Amino acid sequence: MTAFNEKQHIEIREAPEAAQQALIASGVQPIIARVFAARGIQTHSELDASLSNLIPFQSLKNCKKAAYLLADAIINNEKIVIVADYDADGATAAAIGILFFREMGVLIDYFVPNRFEHGYGLTPEIVDIVAKNKVNVIITVDNGIASVSGVSRANELGIKVLVTDHHLAGPQLPDADCIVNPNQPNDSFKSKAIAGVGVMFYVLIALRSELRERHYFNSDRTEPNLANLLDLVALGTVADVVPLDRNNRILVAQGLRRIRSGAMNHGIRALLKIAKKNPTTARSSDFGFAIGPRLNAAGRLTDMKLGIECLISERLETAIDLATELDRLNIERRQIEGDMKDQALTILDNIAGGPEMGVTLFDKTWHSGVVGILASRVKDKLQRPVIAFAQTANGALKGSGRSIKGVHLRDALDALTKMDPDVIEKFGGHAMAAGLTIQAHQLKRFSKLFNDIIEGEFEKNTIDNSIYIDGALKDSDPIPTLAQEVRRHVWGQSFPEPTFRNELYVRTHKLLGESHTKLKLSFTPKGETFDAIRFNFNESVPDVILCVYRLDINDYFDHQPIQLIVETW
C-alpha cells in the first residue's frame, strides 16, 4: 500500500525575527530562541511556569458557583459521588477530587462506567446505580456536557449534578445545577485546551477559596495543599493529548517539578517504577508514552477502577501491585492492537484504487476498547481521518475516530447527521478525536457519507501534511548543552519538541531486538560521533542519511550521553 504520508515534504517553521531577538536579549540561547519564537513565544516572561501565572479561576464560567454548591454539600454532610470517564484524563480527574475530599475528611465515593457494560457519560442507568447509595450530589469529571438524559434522571430523583468537562457542547446543554466547561457557550476562559483534570483542579481551587471565606478550616480541619495534586494534573493533561497552551504548560511543568523532587503520588511513583523510568529525570513524554498507556489499558480492556485505585493508593506497596497489573494489561493491549493493525492494513491493501479520503474500518472480531488506538495508528500511516468500528454485545457498532490537522472530526460527524439524521445514533468529541455509535446496517451508508464530507474538506481546505523542522544544526553547535536545555522545558501537543534536519554520516548501525535500529552518526565523515536510534525501523541503512531528528539524553547510563532520536530520513 502506498501511504499518503509519503507525499509529505519538509517545512522550516517560521520564527519571527523580533521575537527571536527579544528572547536572545533576555539570555535565551540563539537556537532555542528560534525554537520558541517558532512556537509563538514572544517574550521570556511567557516561559515563566510559576503557578501565579495560571489564569484565575474566577474567569472560568460557573467555577465559583460550583464552589458554592460543593461547600454547601460539605457543610451539610451531603454524600458526594464522582462519576468519571474511563480514560487517563477521567481517572486523574477523579483521583484529585477523591484525594482532596479525603484530606478534609469529607465523605466521597466514585463510580467509573465500564465501557462494555455502561457506555460513555452520565446515563440514566448510571444515575440509577449511584442513587442506590442515597447520594445527594453527583460530580461528573471529563464527561457530562452531552448527558442530557442522565442529568434529567438525576433531577427526577432530586440529586444535584455538577458537570465538569472540557468536551465541545452539543446543541442542547444538560439541565444541571452547575456546568463548568470552558467550551460551553459564553465562556470567556482563555484556555479552551484545558483537559478534564484541569477543569476539576480549577473547581478545587475555587472550592478551597470558598471554604476559606466560610472559615471552614481550623486546627481540626487542615486546609488541603493543592500543590500535592499537580503531578496527577500533569499526567492527565499530557495523556489526553490536549494542546499545551501556556496554562497547560504551567500545570505540566509544576507537576514535573514535584515528581523530579521526589514529592509524588504513590500511583505515579509505582507506574514510573514499572515503566523503568527515573523520577528525577521525568519529562512530559513519560506521561504520554509510559504512564498514560498503562493507565488507559485498564479502561480499554477491563475497568478503570483499577487505574483510579492505583492513583489513590495510600500505601506504595498497594500501588506497585496495581501498577504491575496495569502493566500486564498494557502488554495484552499492545498484542491486541498489533493484530488489529495487521488486519486493518490487509483490508486497506485489498481496496481497489487504495483507501478513500475518509477511512472507515470494521471487523467483527475487533476489540471495542482498542479501536481508538487502531484509528490513531492508521491515521498516522495514511495522514487521513480514520474511524474504526467494533461490534458491541447488542449488535450495534461502536466507533472511535482520529483526525488530522485541518479536519475537525466532531464537526464532520455533525455535518453527517444533518445530511442523514438516521445514520448516527449518538456521537461526541472534539477536533482531533470523536466517538460514535451506529447500527450495523448503517455502516455502508455511514462510510459513503463520511468519505464525501472528508473529500469536501480536502477540496475546500489546504490540508497541511508537512513535516516541520527548526532548521539545521552545525558540528560546531553546543549540542550537549542544547540537549540539556531542551530537557528543561515542557513539550507536547501543539508545542512540539525541536526537530532538526541534517545530512549525517552513518558510522555504525545495528538492530536492537526485532524493531529498532541503533546508530552512530556524525556531521562529518570523521567527526565526533553521536549515539542515535530510530524506533520501529528494521530495514537497510545507507552510508549517508538526510534525516529529521530530535535531541535527547540517554538516561540509562550514569554519564547520560547525548542521543539523537531519528524520526525519518
Query: What are the cell numbers at 467?
Result: 513535516
pLDDT of the chain, 569 residues: tens digit per residue: 333 344 568 999 999 999 999 999 999 999 999 999 999 999 999 999 999 999 999 999 999 999 999 999 999 999 999 999 999 999 999 999 999 999 999 989 999 998 888 878 899 999 999 999 999 999 999 999 999 999 999 999 999 999 999 998 888 999 999 999 999 999 999 999 999 999 999 999 999 999 999 999 998 888 999 999 999 999 999 999 999 999 999 999 999 999 999 999 999 999 999 999 999 999 999 999 999 999 999 999 999 999 999 999 999 999 999 999 999 999 999 999 999 999 999 988 888 777 889 999 999 999 999 999 999 999 988 989 999 999 998 889 999 999 998 899 999 999 999 999 999 998 988 888 999 999 999 999 999 999 999 999 888 776 677 899 999 999 899 999 999 999 999 999 999 999 999 999 999 999 988 889 999 999 999 999 999 999 988 889 999 999 999 999 987 655 568 999 999 99
Query: Other CB atoms closer than 10 Å to residue 522's CB: what's the count?
Result: 16
User: Which 3 state secondary structure label does DSSP give 104?
Assistant: coil
What DSSP assignment string belongs to 409-478? HHHHHHHHHHH-TTTEEEEEE-SSEEEEEE-GGGHHHHHHHHHHHHHHHHHHS----PEEE-----TTS-
- Provide the b/e sequence for 74-100 (b: ≥16 CB within 10 Å): beeebbbbbbbbbbbbbbbbbbbbbbb
Q: What is the pLDDT of residues 290-335, one digit of tens each?
A: 999 999 999 999 999 999 999 999 999 999 999 999 999 999 999 9
Q: Cβ distance 473 to 501 under 8 Å?
A: no
Reading the block at residue 86, the C-alpha cell is 474511563
Query: Measured between alpha carbons, how far is 544 from 523 in angstroms, rounded to an integer?
Result: 10
Q: Domain 58-328 has what CATH class?
A: alpha beta
Domain boundaries, the chain: 4-40+467-568, 58-328, 351-460
User: Rounded to an integer, what distance in angstroms lies between the CA atom of residue 344 and that of residue 390?
Assistant: 12
User: Residue 347: what residue type?
Assistant: I
Architecture of domain 351-460: Roll (3.10)
**Which cell numbers hold the place of 236?**
492527565
Q: How far apart are the C-alpha atoms of 450 and 397, rounded to whole Å?
A: 15
Residue 48's closest CA among 280, 257, 253, 282? Answer: 253
Indicate whether this model's pTM tops 0.75. yes
pLDDT tens, 470-506? 999 998 999 999 999 999 999 999 999 999 999 999 9
Based on the number of CB atoms within 10 Å of its own CB, is 442 exposed (0-12), middle (13-18) or buried (19 or more)? middle
Tell me which H or E stretch contains 545.
strand 544-553
Residue 161 CA neighbour count, 13 Å, CB half: 33
Assign a CATH topology to domain 4-40+467-568. Answer: OB fold (Dihydrolipoamide Acetyltransferase, E2P) (2.40.50)
